[in-house]
Structure 1
Amino acid sequence: MMLSSLRIASRRTAVARTSIRAASAWAKIPQGPPVRITEAFKADSFDKKINLGVGAYRDDKGKPYVLPSVRAAEEKVIASRLNKEYAGITGVPEFTKAAAVLAYGADSSALDRLAITQSISGTGALRIGGAFLARHYPGAKTIYIPQPSWANHAAVFKDCGLEVEKYAYYNKDTIGLDYEGMVADINSAPDGSIFLFHACAHNPTGVDPTPEQWKEIEAAVKAKGHHAFFDMAYQGFASGNIHTDAFAVRHFVAEGHNITLSQSFAKNMGLYGERIGAFSVVCADAEERKRVDSQVKILVRPMYSNPPIHGARIAAEILNTPALYDQWLIEVKGMADRIITMRALLKDNLEKLGSKHDWSHITSQIGMFAYTGLTPEQMDQLAKEHSVYATRDGRISVAGITSENVSRLAEAIFKVKG
Structure 2
Amino acid sequence: MARHTVLATLAPVPSDEIFDLNRAYARDTFPQKVSLGVGVYRTDEGKPWPLPVVEKVEKKLLEENDPSRHEYTAIEGDIPFLELARDLMFGFDGKNASAEQEEAKKRIASVQAVAGTGANHLGGLFLATHMKPKNVWLSDPSWANHMTLWEMAGVPRKTYPYYEPKTRSLDFTGMMATLEAEAQEGDVVLLHACAHNPTGLDPTKEQWMEIADLCERKQLFPFFDSAYQGFASGSVVEDAWAVRYFFQHKPHMEMCVAQSFSKNFGLYGQRVGAFHYVTTVAGVDIRDTVVNNLCHLIRGEFSMGPRGGCSIVKKVLTSDELTAEWYEDLKVMSSRIKAMRQALYKELVKLQTPGTWEHIVNQNGMFSYTGLTPAQVTALKEKYHVYLLQSGRASISGLSEKNVAYVAQAIDDVVRNVN
1:157 pairs with 2:164: no
Runs of 4+ aligned structure 1 residues displaced above 3 Å come to 22-36, 107-110
Q: Is 22-31 or 351-360 further displaced after alignment? A: 22-31
The residue that corresponds to 1:104 in the other structure is: 90
Deviations 1:310-362 (A, max 9, x none): 11100000111111100001101110110000000000011111224211000
Shift of 1:38: 2.4
Return the match for 1:93 from 51, 65, 79: 79
Shift of 1:31: 4.2
1:178 pairs with 2:178: no
The residue that corresponds to 1:18 in the other structure is: none
1:245 pairs with 2:239: yes
Q: With structure 1 as the length reference, what TM-score do the two structures score? A: 0.92
Determine if contact 1:346/1:406 at 8 Å carries over to the other structure: yes
Determine if contact 1:121/1:265 at 8 Å carries over to the other structure: yes
User: In structure 2, how many angstroms separate the alpha carbons of the residues matched to 1:121 and 1:343?
Assistant: 27
Determine if contact 1:133/1:141 at 8 Å carries over to the other structure: no
The residue that corresponds to 2:96 in the other structure is: none
Determine if contact 2:105/2:282 at 8 Å carries over to the other structure: no
The 1:23–1:220 alpha-carbon spacing in structure 2 relative to 1, beyond 3 Å, is closer
Q: What amino acid maps onto 1:38 in structure 2?
A: N
User: In structure 2, how many angstroms separate the alpha carbons of the residues matched to 1:340 and 1:350?
Assistant: 16
Larger radius of gyration: 1
Return the match for 2:44 from 46, 50, 60: 60
Deviations 1:55-101 (A, max 9, x none): 11111111111001001112222222221210000111121100001
Deviations 1:19-54 (A, max 9, x none): xxx997547644444554124323422111011101
Return the match for 1:335 from 333, 336, 339: 333
Q: With structure 2 as the length reference, what TM-score do the two structures score? A: 0.91
Percent identical residues = 41
The residue that corresponds to 1:71 in the other structure is: 55
User: In structure 2, how many angstroms separate the alpha carbons of the residues matched to 1:193 and 1:28?
Assistant: 32
Gaps of 5+ in 1: 1-21
User: In structure 1, how many angstroms separate the alpha carbons of the residues matched to 2:14 and 2:277?
Assistant: 36
The residue that corresponds to 1:279 in the other structure is: 275
Determine if contact 1:204/1:370 at 8 Å carries over to the other structure: yes
Q: What amino acid maps onto 1:228 in structure 2?
A: P
Determine if contact 1:104/1:110 at 8 Å carries over to the other structure: no
Return the match for 1:377 from 367, 375, 378: 375
Shift of 1:226: 0.7
User: In structure 1, how many angstroms separate the alpha carbons of the residues matched to 2:163 and 2:186?
Assistant: 24
User: In structure 1, how many angstroms separate the alpha carbons of the residues matched to 2:6 and 2:208?
Assistant: 51
Q: What amino acid maps onto 2:90 in structure 1?
A: Y
Determine if contact 1:37/1:390 at 8 Å carries over to the other structure: yes
Where 1:281 maps in the other structure, the secondary structure is strand
User: In structure 1, how many angstroms separate the alpha carbons of the residues matched to 2:4 and 2:26?
Assistant: 36
Where 2:106 maps in the other structure, the secondary structure is helix
The residue that corresponds to 1:258 in the other structure is: 254
User: In structure 2, how many angstroms separate the alpha carbons of the residues matched to 1:100 and 1:135?
Assistant: 24
Map residues 19-418 of structure 1 onto 2, 5 A cutoff.
26=7, 29-34=10-15, 35=17, 36-82=20-66, 83=68, 84-106=70-92, 108=101, 110-137=104-131, 140-188=133-181, 189-255=183-249, 256=251, 257-283=253-279, 284-286=281-283, 287-418=285-416
CA RMSD of aligned residues (A): 1.7
Determine if contact 1:375/1:393 at 8 Å carries over to the other structure: yes
The 1:186–1:298 alpha-carbon spacing in structure 2 relative to 1, beyond 3 Å, is same
The 1:225–1:27 alpha-carbon spacing in structure 2 relative to 1, beyond 3 Å, is closer
User: In structure 2, how many angstroms separate the alpha carbons of the residues matched to 1:357 and 1:265?
Assistant: 37
Determine if contact 1:41/1:51 at 8 Å carries over to the other structure: yes
Determine if contact 1:110/1:253 at 8 Å carries over to the other structure: no
Where 1:312 maps in the other structure, the secondary structure is helix
Deviations 1:154-189 (A, max 9, x none): 101110121111111111111110000111122121
User: In structure 2, how many angstroms separate the alpha carbons of the residues matched to 1:166 and 1:336?
Assistant: 30
Gaps of 5+ in 2: 94-100
Determine if contact 2:191/2:224 at 8 Å carries over to the other structure: yes
Shift of 1:247: 0.6
